[in-house]
Amino acid sequence: MEKIKEVVLPDGEVLMEDILSKYPPKVAKKRNKSIVFNDPSRDQPIQSNVRTVPGIITQRGCCYAGCKGVVLGPTRDIINLTHGPIGCGFYSWLTRRNQTRPGPEGDNYMPYCFSTDMQDDNIVFGGEKKLKEAIQEAYDIFHPKAIGIFATCPVGLIGDDIHSVAKEMKEKLGINIFGFSCEGYKGVSQSAGHHIANNQIFKHVVGLDDKKKKGKFLINLLGEYNIGGDAFLIEDLFERCGLTLVSTFSGNSSIEQFANCHTADLNLVMCHRSINYVADMMEKKFGIPWMKINFIGANASAASLRQIGRYFDDKDLSRRIEKVIAEEMPAVEAACKEVMPHTKGKLAMIFVGGSRAHHYQELFAEIGMRTIAAGYEFAHKDDYEGRKVLPNLKVDADSRNIEELVVEKDPERYKLRKTQEELNKLEKIGIRMKEYDGMMPEMVNKSFVIDDISQHETEMLIAKYKPAVFCAGIKEKYTVQKSGVPMKQLHSYDYGGPFAVFKGAVNFYREMDRTINSKVWGLIKPPWDSNPEITATFVLE
Amino acid sequence: MNTTATKNPCKLCAPLGASLVFKGIRGAIPVLHGSQGCATYIRGYFISHFREPVDIASSNFVETTSIFGGEKNLCEALENINRQYNPEVIGVATTCLSETIGDNVPLFLNNFLKKKGSEPFPDIIFASTPSYSGSHIDGFHAAVKAVVEYYSHFRETADLLSARGREGNSVAVLPNFVSPEDIRHLKEIILDFGVNPVFVPDYSQTLDGVSWNKYEKIPEGGTSKEELLSLRKVSSVIELGNSLNEKDSAGKFLESEVGTKRHGLGLPIGIDLTDDFFNSLKIISGRKIPDKYIAQRGRLVDAYCDAHKYLFGKKAVVFGDEDMVVSIARFLCETGIIPVLCASGAQGSELKKALQQLSMEYKNKIVIRTKADFVDIEEEAVALKPDFLIGNSKGYTLSRKMGVPLIRVGFPVHDRFGASRISHLCYKGTQELFDRIVNTIIAKKQSESAAGYTYM
């Protein structure tokens, strides 16, 4: 085996000072609150979901991006019509990697981009007329079940009322048409857009269809976006276990599924950030309890399945779940054994999304790698520190701009799934409903937690730690690789995947092996360049 | 069908074009004045096309900024960019948001610099690029003009210039929205004529760079400030692309304001248009065309002859940016291919004008569509039964649906590798493009042959 040179990890406190010293005092003060040198034994607060400072290049997107691209983007049978100039529609046109299976007869509008393509005169005289015509055209061509209208920056400013247009056209055409006031300047990141999208789906779609699916164990999967086909693997697993999936919010999803999701008996929350409020609303309105699960990582997947089994408290279900786990684990263990000699002890960094930065630490841990720094792009405090911070969360101006729906028990559709007594019993056996502890308690001691990491902070971390792999998105991809560090995209999976559950874990292990141990990184320095750089592997305490 | 909505657009928005121009100035960083999403989206698009780091800053508007105006945010952005990146130039472009609320950016910049007083600060170049006017190409030209205007602003009078003499061996080159490889090739040619080109912009290195030994905040390359300042003194300007109208043309600005001799040419694709380009260089330099290029021309003509049997009468659908569509259509006609449909998302008066004549030659067999989206293109294309499509990656949907191959050119190309190194221009670039076209036709014929010939 290669001889490992022992190197001590850099002093985090010193590194933090280094990072902050490059900022003007005001910016340094602000960033200081968003960077934590983690000690899981302590309660360390982190600042998140605050506006990015102008001029600090962020990887964050806008409200429109979150609303149209993330939540409605993966839903195939709704026509998404962007009301605005052409750019926004173009950039969000089939760029995310969510896959869908419409079936031979099913509608799929995901490959299309509809835009009102506003011009000067629409900005001056208003664009409502054009919007109406565009809706009519979309209807005439496709006769869809539903049309969503997405507002871009200028729309709110010139005073176009997309909601009244939606109402008018809904009455005229007799299909479901509703609008999203997701102007790009709203909120601090795409997270605001997720919220607006989910609220509107909840208001305009959820509960419209009471037809109950056949099956004993009806579940919804919330916050799974089917990147690289993750949801397909999860669906397959559910089927083999005997679980019936009513709807997924929103991956391989359809408006029809959203419409009768209230008939499920349990909500599983994958990405806490983008959807926990929907789970809460569904509990209040329809009585469906929710639990946080994680299908990234083989062990986490097995644990999540067992949790579901215990919730339903059914022997046959639990037996089937154990059988599926037993069928899946040998391949996982074999792959793990195969790559471990090449990956063990190496460092990873993950800066992505609102849940993946947490979930993917599982996969790295399974192949002996340590996540030395992680952070979210658009998460909130509870995603870092857990839901215990929720009661004391300060509502700032940006959050106030996002509508909080007032939800009440549905007089006809509410049905208590579990009594308080049953829930207490579940808690005693370790099934905690409506709970999420966040990423920080599960991160190793002396690792960095950084919210909305900037380019400058990324450079500093890479220079000091020289991680074996850095995970983020397309915008960081080549910056990181130019620094001679392998980079894995975890928004789009570098157009690969799937990485969910057991088969996905095997894919991921092998891909990390290939990525980290590629010969390419050794070719950067030409042979005639003397003093080759000494590369080292950190020895972990 | 004349429709209101745009379905599967064949154009992008103006701030994207402006950002690209700023990426081609040495030590420059673009800032988009508006929501952060614009910068993020545009970065995503550039990065997936060029496969290089692309930093674009934003003034990060929020709701209150949209109500009270973006002056404070812009100033804060400028300060922070300066501090972090230490740039030589900051290129500011507006978005639909800041334009809709009517932010007076030149005034903001003026106030900002006044406050700075004698404190040194990077040059700030401003281009107005509302995305509801025109397309990415209009944004591109607006920024080129802004750069040229900025650096020839301190112009001396024509008399003074003639007294001091012009720099006869320098030429300004406004290459249009072409690939980094194209810019490299143009540069090579012009240098071979013994002339120094000043490109606006030159992203041949910044957006197609080498691997680094240490991290560079702003990638090396681009046209330097010193070179840009020499724009006042160059004797000639080559401006590629005829679709520009008078008021958006930086070349015409140089001609009328600085007295530079303008050579307005079509994008040099194919023999005819490249001949024009070389003729202009001959005039500018006073030198013979180097043998190397005579040979390249000869090889291209020879290839046209050799491949004629594969290509004659084949039909192509051409789509994308107006100037590129015009030049590719003219090139295809030279080879015996009929560009049965030429379409662009642009307003397209040049497209109509330039191709009308060509269409007459072909007894109106060429359909011209301006302000087109891919639904329009599909409507026309299906009836025309083309042998191949030529344009950007967004044509893939149509290519897949019709079972007709797509030859990728222009921008964006995010479903193939090496977009930065696609050659389009001059004899050599055309040769590469031509070989790709011929091979696409041959490959199709081969895969459809029942015998499975290995000899085509």
Distance, in Å, from the CA atom of A164 to the CA atom of B287, rounded to the nearest integer, reads: 68
pLDDT of residue A376: 97
What is the CA angle B347-B352-B355, rounded to 5?
Answer: 140
Q: Test B12 with A87 for CB contact under 8 angstroms.
A: yes
Active site residue A471: no
Q: What is the pLDDT of residue A1?
A: 39
For chain A, positions 326-385, list CB contacts with chain B under 8 A: none
The β-bridge partners of A115 are A82, B6
pLDDT single digits (tens) B144-188? 999 999 998 754 545 455 545 566 689 999 999 999 999 999 999
Find residue B94's DSSP bridge partners.
B33
Which residue from B37, B59, B78 is facing A64, i.e. has the nearest CB? B37
Q: In this structure, is residue A153 part of a structural domain?
A: yes
A306 as an active site residue: the answer is: no
Q: Which range of residues forms the domain containing residue A112?
A: 63-184
The residue among B132, B401, B411, B414 with the most chain A CBs within 10 A of its CB, best to mutate, is: B132
Decide if pLDDT at B216 tops 90.
no
Kindly state the average pLDDT of the residues B227-253.
94
DSSP, collapsed to helix, strand or coil, labels residue A199 as: helix
- Cβ-Cβ contacts under 8 Å for B203 (sequence gap 6 or more): B20, B23, B24, B180, B183, B221, B222
Whether residue B5 and residue A111 make contact (CB cut-off 8 A), yes or no, is no
CB pairs under 8 A between A and B: 233
Q: What is the pLDDT of residue B201?
A: 98
Q: What is the CATH number of the domain that holds A176?
A: 3.40.50.1980
Residue A90 lies in a domain: yes
pTM: 0.95
CA-nearest of B225, B237, B285, B288 to B263 is: B237
Q: Please indicate whether, in this complex, the C-beta atoms of A185 and B65 are within 8 angstroms of each other.
A: yes
Write out pLDDT tens, residues B126-146. 999 999 999 999 999 999 999
| Contact across the interface for A120 and B132, Cβ inside 8 Å | yes
| A397 assigned to active site | no
> Does the pLDDT of residue A3 top 80, yes or no?
no
Instruction: Find, among B209, B286, B197, the residue nearest to B240 by Cα.
Output: B197
Contacts of B262 (CB under 8 A, 6+ apart): B236, B237, B239, B251, B252, B254, B255
Using an 8 Å CB-CB cutoff, list chain B residues near A88.
13, 37, 41
Question: Which among A91, A398, A482 has CB closest to B215?
Answer: A482
Listed range (A40-54, A365-379, B392-406) with the worst mean pLDDT: A40-54
Determine the pLDDT at residue A233.
Answer: 98
Nearest CA to A222 out of A240, A198, A238, A204 is that of A198
Q: Tokens standing for A233? A: 């693997």
**Which pLDDT value is given to residue B364?**
82
Which residue on chain B is closest to A121 by alpha carbon?
A: B132
Q: Which residues of B372-384 are buried (b: 16+ CB within 10 A; e: fewer)?
A: bbbbbbbebbeee
Q: What is the pLDDT of residues A415-471, one digit of tens each?
A: 999 999 999 999 999 999 999 999 999 999 999 999 999 888 998 999 999 999 999
Q: Using CA coordinates, name the residue in chain B closest to A63.
A: B37
CB atoms A152 and B51 under 8 Å: no
pLDDT of residue B166: 65
Which residues in chain B have their CB less than 8 angstroms from residue A113's CB?
7-9
Residue A8 pLDDT exceeds 80:
no
Confidence of residue B84 (pLDDT cuts 50, 70, 90): confident
For the sheet with B123-127, list strands across it: B57-58, B28-33, B89-94, B123-127
CA within 13 Å, CB half, A499: 29
| Residues of A with Cβ-Cβ distance to B7 under 8 angstroms | 112-115, 141
Residue A209 maps to a domain: no
Q: Name the residue facing A65 among B41, B45, B79 (closest C-beta).
A: B41
Lowest mean pLDDT among A389-403, B23-37, B324-338: A389-403
Mean predicted lDDT score pLDDT of chain B: 94
Residue A214 placed within a domain: no
Annotation marks residue A163 as catalytic: no
A342, two tokens: 């090449």
Domain count across chain A? 1
**DSSP states of A261-326 as a string?**
GGG-SEEEESSHHHHHHHHHHHHHHH---EEE---BSHHHHHHHHHHHHHHHT-HHHHHHHHHHHH
Instruction: List phi, psi (to 5°) of B175.
Output: -80, -10
Contact (CB<8Å) A115/B5: yes
B-interface mutation test, from A115, A122, A185, most B Cβ less than 10 A away? A185
> Which CA distances in Å does B445 have to A394, B15, B179, B387, B453?
67, 42, 30, 10, 10
Q: Where are the beta strands (DSSP E) in A105-175?
A: 114-115, 146-151
The answer, yes or no, to whether residue A530 has pLDDT greater than 90, is no
pLDDT, tens digit, for every residue of B320-354?
A: 999 999 999 999 999 999 999 999 999 888 899 98
**In CATH, what number does B14-151 get?**
3.40.50.1980
- B307-448 placed in CATH 3.40.50.1980: yes
| Nearest CA-CA partner of A331 in A504, A511, A515 | A504
Give the pLDDT band (50/70/90) at residue B2. low
pLDDT at A529: 79
Relative orientation angle of helices A501-516 and A298-312, to the nearest 10 degrees:
170
The residue extents of the domains of chain B are 14-151, 158-291, 307-448
Query: Quick check: is A535 in a domain?
Result: no
- A101 falls within a domain: yes
Q: What CATH topology corresponds to B158-291?
A: Rossmann fold (3.40.50)
**Across the interface, do A86 and B16 touch by the CB < 8 Å criterion?**
no
Whether A415 maps to a domain, the answer reads: no
Is A80 in a helix, a strand, or coil?
strand
C-beta of residue A73 within 8 angstroms of C-beta of residue A111: no
Report the gap between the CA of B229 and the closest CA in chain A (Å). 27
